[in-house]
Structures are given as structure tokens and as C-alpha cells.
Chain A
């Protein structure tokens, strides 16, 4: 008697859960994962080789072997790279280059955001003669990146005596049409009624900027900061031109200078240690601001 009802639930549960192989999604999944793993390998292998290379001595890499397992020279390599620098000149230690790069990238990102925020604010919320002309002039500079205007810009920097200074390194890169455009598009989505409500509440333009526009742009600013920090960090041509002083060397430029032209053996271990160190600040910025960055690109708080 008690055994009779027992098979019923078992049969029901078997029917509700179909066998694994019948599901087409399960059948293709291992192939999908294979491709994904292959992709991961393609992107990660160079980083791994760099990481491993920074733990061997110079002659191991110099022989042409590509070691895939870490060696014992790691602490020594990083100490040399951090404090003394490497490569042919052995003049600029990594800590100084990193400091220069961070200062430059932060100045460029912050400067770009401040200037483009204000100019977009002016173009969107004020009526003044030549408003559209001003906007289009900003827009046109999109067609004139640093590389195109590099000689006249350099000439201006020489005349102003800004060669070999942090100001000369950052100021020409700060004016940014891209960020201005992004802020303009965002400001245009702020409803007119919000502006009018602020007027009725007695908020002047700067108060409106501080209390309404800035808080609403928070996520956009964070996203832009990440993008512009990386833009500043990766600058190569302009620092190469405007800075000779070893104490103002940036890490991207410094890395390139460490690699010789074939006259002598490269100290690949120190170079790779410096390369690993140079990865850390951008990675930190991206990781720390990722949450804001994604929100800034995907959602609007309206």
C-alpha cells in the first residue's frame, strides 16, 4: 500500500528536467568556451611573458629563450628599475617617471574636464553673440589633433618658454573638443524646465552649475576621467618633442628610450619590470572607477 504512490513524483521530476544532451545550448557551450579561452590566451600571454621576464636576469632573456616560468631575480630587478632606472642611460628611475606620468595624466584629464565642462555649459545654457560660431570652432578642432599642429604648437611653446616644463607638457593637450561635445550632448538632455525651476528658486548660473549640472554629470565626469587619464598616460609624440629633461621623463617615453638600437644588449629584465610598473596606475584607475565608468556610459539619472 505505501509503495504505490511513490513512483509518481519521481516520474514527474524526470519529465520536468530533460536529459542534458538534448539541450542544444549545452552542446555548443564547450566550443564557445574554447574560443573564449583562446581569446583570453591571446590577450594574456604577452602580459604573462612580461611578468615572467621581469623575474629573470638579463642574460637569460638575451639568449633568446622565452621563459614561461618565473625566475629568482624578481626583487632585484624591481629594485633596480624603481630606484635606479635601466637601459642604456640608467638615469631616470621608474618612481620618477611614474610620478611624472601620473601628474601629467591627472593634469590633462582634470584640465580637459574643467575646460570642456565650462565651455559646454556656456554653449548650451547661454545666448550670446557668436554662440554657434564658438561651438563650431571647437568642433572643427576635432580635425586638428596634436600630430597635425605639432610644429606650430611647439613653436608657441618655445616662444612662451614652456619647453621642458610640466606646463608645456600638459597645456597644449588640454583643449578638448571631444569632451566638450560629450558634455554638450549631455547638457542638451537636461530639460528646460529644470533650468527654469532653478531660475525661479533663485539660483544664478554658477549656483545652477554647482548644485544641479555637476551632480547630474557626476557619472559622465567619472567615465570621461578614465578615458582622458588613459589618453594622457599614453601620450608619446608630444612628450618626446617638448621634454628633454630627464627629470620630466614620462614612463611611456622612458620605456621606449630604454630599448637600444642594437649597439649593445638591452637589459630586458629591467625594461620588463618597468613595463609592469607602468601598467599599474592605469589599471588602478580603471579598476577603481569601473563602477562609475559603466554607469556613466549606460544610465542617466533622469
Chain B
């Protein structure tokens, strides 16, 4: 159990820099999830912490000790790999015991630790089997067990759930969370799945092109995304982005599509006419009769291009008169029958309270002036 600190981590592969300076402080017992699209550098960061790669610049501290120059085995960490990386010729017991055997622990101690971990994971009956005799979920558990028996300072998870089927993934996700809480081991978890990220992490690191775009709790990331990338990455269906300009002395935005939306939470600093991007999540878009819009709402009309019924809700993909796309997730009861090839126009309301305001240049979140 320990803290983890990354200080100005940079990593280049030849001339290509994949990590452009990452700083991160992880508290003791915290579960940090690193999430991002493929190639954003999240796995590289994990491998740097594991010691499988050497950073070009920066320092890694585990429990206050600088481990940047240490071998993986000396860092007192354990890692769960995406394909589990179990030794195919060893039994489950052998797989879990191997690291302890190399460390020279007494045989009785090894047997005790392996038995404990196996019981914890419910694989006590499988200790004599070979990995190929196990199902995907069981292999996953063995890989976890191999990490647990080490009693490391730090758990590293490299997309451990992505080889499981959907149902098992949900089950193992909850199990990993429970286990991590119970053992209280500081953990880094890499995933590209935002549901995993939201449900598992105490805090998320949303990675974008080698930088940490935002480091915050899942709810903060969802409700106050730091920039357009984070706003678009977290949430499903993805947030709508509409071009707008700052008007009315910074108290409102005029959409390119026409309507004016006042800011519900206060004035934004900036010159009149500054370019903005307004974000609104599909689930916050409301249905409305034409022309009906309150003071803190903007009425828009979309031409519906596609409707995806999900049962209780329907996701509508529409287009505003100026050509921008708008997606809305509406209760099924509020969606009129959409029949045939005829294009249907639909009136929608955008509530000002649900708006996210970003600068058009740079994409940073624009908060109200206090």
C-alpha cells in the first residue's frame, strides 16, 4: 500500500513523442482509471509505471521512493495483462506461486498465500488445472490471483476485461472494484471503455494525444468536462456541439442556427462576438410543441434523419436548419410516430441550465466569471 506520483513524465519512441509531460498524484488505496482512445498513450504510461519501458524524462515515485531506474521486479508492483499472460505449462497454483518462489519465500508461506487468494477469488478448486483447461473468466481470476498473492504496493490493470464477453465483463468489473476496496491497494486501471472508467474509478485520467486532458472524479468529468475532447469522449450517445458566438454583453450565446440562449449560471468573460462551442448532452434535450419555449430555453427545429428506439427511450439523430447535427435522447412516449420516407421536422428545446460552454479556439471550458 503506497502512494504513486508521476512527475513530468515524457516518453518518445525514436522521434515520436507519445507522452508530453504527465503529472499525477495518486493517494494511498485510490483506484485511478486511465481512459482514452487507442494510441493516446494510456498503455504506455502504465508500462512506464510497471518498469517495462523507461521514461525519456520525468520521475516515478512509489510510496515516496524514486523507482524510475529500478527493474520491474524491484518496484513491488503486480500487473494484470489484457490476455492474462498465464504460463501455459504451469498449473494455476504454479502460475500464482511463481513470483513468490523466485522471491524465495518458504514453501508453507507460498501455499498459504495462494490458498487465501484462490479462496478469495473462488478458484480454490482449480489449483491443479492448466490455463487452457479454464474458461476466460477463470483465467481472468487466476491472473488477478497472481497479482494478489504478491501483496504488492500497486496493482496495474492493462485492459483486463476486454477479452471477456459482455455479461462476464460487467460481473468481473464489480468484482475487481469490490476486491480493490477490500484489499485497499492503490491501483491504476487502463481501459478504453467509458462505462468501465465511470464505474471503477475513484478518479479518472482522461488521456488525449499524450496529455492528461482532465483528472477528476467520474461525476466531475461528466458534469464539468474540462474541454471539448473530454466532453465528447465521456457520455453515450456523445455530447452535441453547436457553434455559437458570445453576445448580450457576455450573458448569452447566439447559436449559428439562430436562437439566443442565455447563460443560466452567469456571465462569461470575453469580447462580444467571440467564437464559442456550446455542448449539450442528448439526454438533456427536451421535446416541445413548435414555438413553445421558456425564458431559459432555446427552441430549435430539426429534420429527423434517424430514430433508434431503445425501448423506454428513443435516440433521434437530426439536423438543424444550418446543417449542424443534433442528437436527442427522448422518452419514447414523447416521440411522434415517424413513418415512411417523408422527412419529419421536430421541435426541440435546449435548456440553458444543461449547457456546457467552451471556447471555439482551443476547446477549453469557459466558466462564468465569479
Task: Name the contact of B73 in the complex, choosing from A193, A200, A211, A215 (C-beta under 8 A).
Answer: A200
Are the CB atoms of A200 and B77 closer together than 8 Å? Answer: yes
Residue of B at shortest CB range from A194?
Answer: B85
- A61 contacts partner chain B, Cβ-Cβ < 8 Å: no
Indicate with 1 or 0, residue by residue over B67-111, a CB within 8 angstroms of chain A CB atoms: 000011100011101111111111000000011001100000000
Indicate with 1 or 0, residue by residue over B207-227, a CB within 8 angstroms of chain A CB atoms: 000000000000000000000
- B52 contacts partner chain A, Cβ-Cβ < 8 Å: yes
Are the CB atoms of A200 and B83 closer together than 8 Å? Answer: no
Given A194-B87, A215-B89, A301-B88, A201 and B82 contact (CB-CB distance below 8 Å): no
Are the CB atoms of A302 and B50 closer together than 8 Å? Answer: no
Task: Name the contact of B83 in the complex, choosing from A191, A198, A207, A212 (C-beta under 8 A).
Answer: A191
Nearest CB of chain A from residue B162's CB, rounded to whole Å: 13
Given A201-B102, A202-B99, A193 and B88 contact (CB-CB distance below 8 Å): no
- A199 contacts partner chain B, Cβ-Cβ < 8 Å: yes
Are the CB atoms of A212 and B87 closer together than 8 Å? Answer: yes
- A140 contacts partner chain B, Cβ-Cβ < 8 Å: no
Are the CB atoms of A200 and B50 closer together than 8 Å? Answer: yes
Residue of B at shortest CB range from A192?
Answer: B85
User: Max chain A CB contacts within 10 Å: which of B52, B86, B132?
Assistant: B52
Bound-complex Cα distance A215 to B85 (A): 16
Are the CB atoms of B89 and A197 closer together than 8 Å? Answer: no
Task: Name the contact of B52 in the complex, choosing from A191, A196, A207, A216 (C-beta under 8 A).
Answer: A196
Bound-complex Cα distance A301 to B83 (A): 15
Are the CB atoms of A301 and B73 closer together than 8 Å? Answer: no
Contacts of B89 in A (CB 8 A): 212, 215-216, 218, 301
Contacts of A193 in B (CB 8 A): 81-85
Are the CB atoms of B87 and A200 closer together than 8 Å? Answer: no
Nearest CB of chain B from residue A297's CB, rounded to whole Å: 18
Indicate with 1 or 0, residue by residue over A77-99, a CB within 8 angstroms of chain B CB atoms: 00000000000000000000000
Residue of A at shortest CB range from B50?
Answer: A200
User: Max chain B CB contacts within 10 Å: which of A194, A199, A201, A302?
Assistant: A201
Given A216-B88, A301-B88, A301-B89, A201 and B81 contact (CB-CB distance below 8 Å): no
Given A207-B102, A211-B98, A199 and B73 contact (CB-CB distance below 8 Å): yes
- A203 contacts partner chain B, Cβ-Cβ < 8 Å: yes
Nearest CB of chain A from residue B232's CB, rounded to whole Å: 32
Are the CB atoms of A200 and B82 closer together than 8 Å? Answer: no
Nearest CB of chain A from residue B351's CB, rounded to whole Å: 48
User: Max chain A CB contacts within 10 Å: which of B88, B132, B146?
Assistant: B88
Nearest CB of chain A from residue B160's CB, rounded to whole Å: 12
- List 6 A-B pairs, minimum CB-CB distance, nearest first: A202-B73, A193-B85, A201-B99, A197-B85, A215-B89, A202-B102
Which residues of A line the B interface, CB within 8 A? 191, 193-194, 196-203, 207, 211-212, 215-216, 218, 301-302
Q: List 20 A-B contacts (CB under 8 A).
A: A193-B84, A193-B85, A194-B85, A194-B87, A196-B50, A197-B79, A197-B146, A200-B72, A200-B79, A200-B99, A201-B73, A201-B98, A201-B102, A202-B73, A203-B73, A211-B98, A215-B89, A216-B88, A216-B89, A302-B88
What would 9 more interface pairs be, CB under 8 Å, given A201-B102, A203-B98, A215-B89? A193-B81, A194-B87, A196-B81, A197-B79, A197-B87, A201-B99, A202-B102, A207-B102, A212-B87
